[in-house]
Amino acid sequence: MIEKVFTRSALVALLFLISSASPSGAQMPNMIGEQIGRQVTTAASNQAAARIIKPSLRVKGQVGVVALAASANGKFAAAGFANGMVTIWDVEKGREVVRVRSPAKSLSALAVPNNGDFILVGAQDGRFYRLSPDKEELVGRFAGISALAVDQTGKSAAIGNTQGQVTLVTLAAKTATPVLTLPAVVLGLSFTADPGPQLVAVTGDGVISSLAAANAAAKRIAALPGPLGVAAIGPANKAALAVGTDGMTRQVDIGSGRVTPLQAIDAAPLALTLVGDGNALLLGNKAGEIIVADAQRGVRLARLATTDAGWAVIDYSGRFDGNSRGVDAVSWQADVATVDLAAFAKRYFEPGMLSNILFGRMTELVPVPGAVPEGVALPPAMIVNLPKELPKVAGKPYQLVVLAENMGGGIDDIRLFHNGKLVDRGSLLQTQDFTEGKRQLRALAYSIVPTAGLNTFRATALSNWGVQGVSERVAADFAGTARPGRLNMLVVGVNKYGGRVPSLELAVPDASAIASALGTVNRGFSQVTGATLLDEKASKASILNTLKQMALASQPEDTLFLFFAGHGVSIDAENWSFLPYGVDASSMAAMRRTSITASELEALLVEAKAKRIVLAIDACQSGAAFGAFAKQRNFYLRLLGDISRTTGLIVYAATQEGADALEINQLGHGVFTYSLLKGLKGEAAPVKARTVTAFALADYLEASVPALTQSYKQSRQDTATFRLGVDFPLSAK
């Protein structure tokens, strides 16, 4: 944790700050200043060292990587871990899409088909499984499994073992046919596109062979200097890569036989594989790190971090992507401080980063202020102080103070969050800067209106690099009779578009179903109210006017739930927009004027008195109509993450590819909405719990949406969730 250092003179001035800003503050006794002084930590000896750090990356809960594999087309990669967890990554989209637990923890080999629908798992005890999110199937037992491959159809597999034996397996029938025995352990296998079937194998002695199953013949086609420790065959069988027992990484062009030595990327990897177009490789080690490297130059590009909680990818400048739980497990650490990875989100969060790296699109990465490992100034140190001597009565104004100290990176954009939601600027009474020697501090006095019962407070500020400093969460009870709040909902669905904007089929049914589900969620709420705006009623003016009235009429104990189903688009580099009924898509300027921007939504929600706000967006971003999907999706996620981080809103967002991925007619709803409905009706409640909270619903959506799309063989759809505020109940079983 960053040390907080505040001077006595600053605290005395702070007392003046409150008393001059508020009539009630003038009556505060001098002991308030003494009480503030007791709360801050004096650590002047550590101050100089804490200014600039050169941190290293730390991941909580990481376990060793024991197996890696890639599909023959290079579009999917699979990773197996020492605890039996197995994951599939969509290389083109740059994210984890499947996560299953193998019955056998001692994994020895993996294979993934070209569509990424399942994983073949070989265990050290000989068990051979076909695993998918909804099915676990034991195919058979084969001694000493050391390599696996799956053919282009996904119907047949090849198994290589430590004795050099190669066996063909028909997965549905679970029948096995021995092919031949090679002179050394089989480290890598791959099917070719030729009939036969034909295989390419790399063995521990460095020999690369072409295998013809029909006549059990093996032909030497290339070689690497052996003996080898680990090896893999790249997409389309164009190249093989191996790390020898001498620790040297080498690549061989299978067509020409040319061997290219690479610099040592990882001296002792336990697994490796080539992905994408064959120019990128993954290496896994016992520490649990998966290194992403340039296969041509042998240069490290990024690291994949996988834990039981989630996943993250971090490049060597500090850019990152990942799901919320995975990012929470990662931090930058130095002797004097630890800074959570999420604190760098303002400038370093890069959705879709892995895809750009694997396919060499480095110019598409957003520029960052500097490389974090080479040195970064610490973010501001933050403290929220609640004077004990002021009466704590619900509904009555209460003055509190936020203190920030410049730890070397500057102080910018100080924000206070009350019960998880951003406190509006109108509550700020006064700001004052202090200087004591070389130390720079800033104090802000706020007047807030607490609710009955427990109230929580947290403050944030940014450094010049956009690194966020966060205070400890401070809590206090305020006297009064707690009353249940209302659930206020605004549900919007648009099917009917015109011109360049394609119409949808299920946005209106989705919105109607959400409104119906929320209308029955009355346990824990005094009242459920709101508006449902569909098609012609969902104009820009109608949506914004309704939201403004709802926000201003809300009370602190209320919950606002907003749901938008329709089209969305990133119009420019500054904003994302929801397309309402009647949007003018004749030009980008017209669309910008007649759509609803994220900034407009954010401004209205910040004004709301309600502290509990959920924004759920099931908005299709049609690549065919509005340009490259990947760039839109990445910008969309970056923007929504920023909104959640700076306002305290809980955000759920579908991240699909287009209209086809949005709607599955067999379900009667879009996949995101279908899962949202199931979650609200109780499926998202944790085991042995009867309440569905905002955070639990986020976890449920992240898991259920990709699994559901895969079960219907649709294009993969994910859910991005951002929940940096305070958890709260939404429904009960």
Whether 660 has a pLDDT exceeding 60, the answer reads no
Question: What average pLDDT score do residues 637-645 get?
Answer: 66
Give 539-602 as a DSSP string: BHHHHHHHHHHHHHH--TT-EEEEEEEEEEEE-SSS-EEEE-BT---SSHHHHHHHSEEHHHHH
pLDDT band at 638 (very low <50, low <70, confident <90, very high): low
Residue 440 token pair: 């720079």
The Cα–Cα gap between 329 and 305 comes to 9
291 contact partners, CB below 8 Å, separation of at least 6: 265, 266, 269, 282, 283, 284, 285, 300, 302, 303, 304
Report which listed range, 7-21, 46-60, 507-521, is most confident.
507-521
Whether 214 has a pLDDT exceeding 80, the answer reads no
Element containing residue 607 per DSSP (H, E): helix 598-607
Each residue's pLDDT tens digit, 185-196: 999 999 988 776
Each residue's pLDDT tens digit, 524-551: 788 899 999 999 999 999 999 999 999 9
> Hey, what domains does the chain have and what are their CATH numbers?
8-51+378-478 (2.60.40.10), 65-306 (2.130.10.10), 307-376 (no CATH), 486-732 (3.40.50.1460)
Whether 401 has a pLDDT exceeding 70, the answer reads yes
Angle between helix axes 598-607 and 629-647 (nearest 10 degrees) is 10
CB 185 within 8 A of CB 163: yes
Residue 161 token pair: 């073992």
Query: What is the predicted pLDDT for the residue at 639?
Result: 62
Each residue's pLDDT tens digit, 220-234: 999 999 899 999 998
Query: What is the predicted pLDDT for the residue at 1?
Result: 36
Question: What average pLDDT score do residues 678-704 get?
Answer: 87
> DSSP state, 425?
G
pLDDT band at 636 (very low <50, low <70, confident <90, very high): low
Residue 78 token pair: 């699979």
Query: What is the predicted pLDDT for the residue at 32?
Result: 39
Whether 59 has a pLDDT exceeding 60, the answer reads yes
Query: What is the predicted pLDDT for the residue at 148?
Result: 97
Smallest CA-to-CA distance from 50 within 463, 377, 331 is with 377
pLDDT band at 385 (very low <50, low <70, confident <90, very high): very high
Question: What average pLDDT score do residues 90-111 get?
Answer: 89
% of the chain beyond a pLDDT of 70: 85
- For residues 160 and 522, the model is more confident at 160
Query: What is the predicted pLDDT for the residue at 493?
Result: 95
Strands (E), 474-537: 474-478, 486-493, 527-534
The Cα–Cα gap between 627 and 461 comes to 35
Query: What is the predicted pLDDT for the residue at 40?
Result: 41
Smallest CA-to-CA distance from 415 within 399, 398, 428, 396 is with 428
- For residues 706 and 141, the model is more confident at 141
pLDDT band at 20 (very low <50, low <70, confident <90, very high): low
Each residue's pLDDT tens digit, 685-697: 887 777 899 999 9
Query: What is the predicted pLDDT for the residue at 144?
Result: 95
Angle at 222 between CA 245 and CA 249, to 5 degrees: 30
CB 683 within 8 A of CB 521: no
> Which SS3 state, helix, strand or coil, does residue 381 take?
strand
Question: What average pLDDT score do residues 353-376 get?
Answer: 90
Which of 38-52, 391-405, 668-682 is least confident? 38-52
The Cα–Cα gap between 331 and 59 comes to 7
Each residue's pLDDT tens digit, 167-206: 999 999 999 999 999 999 999 999 988 776 789 999 999 9
3-state secondary structure labels for all residues of 442-465: EEEEEEECCCCEEEEEEEEEECCC
Query: What is the predicted pLDDT for the residue at 43?
Result: 34
Whether 657 has a pLDDT exceeding 50, the answer reads no
The Cα–Cα gap between 139 and 120 comes to 9
Each residue's pLDDT tens digit, 472-481: 999 999 999 8
Each residue's pLDDT tens digit, 312-347: 999 999 999 988 889 989 999 988 788 999 899 889
The Cα–Cα gap between 338 and 331 comes to 7
Question: What average pLDDT score do residues 496-514 get?
Answer: 88
Each residue's pLDDT tens digit, 413-442: 999 999 988 888 889 999 988 887 778 899
Query: What is the predicted pLDDT for the residue at 661?
Result: 40
Residue 431 token pair: 């700001």
Query: What is the predicted pLDDT for the residue at 715?
Result: 57
Whether 601 has a pLDDT exceeding 70, the answer reads yes
Which of 350-354, 386-390, 434-438 is least confident? 434-438
- For residues 666 and 63, the model is more confident at 63
Query: What is the predicted pLDDT for the residue at 14?
Result: 52
CB 381 within 8 A of CB 409: no
Report which listed range, 9-13, 258-262, 462-466, is most confident.
462-466
Whether 662 has a pLDDT exceeding 80, the answer reads no
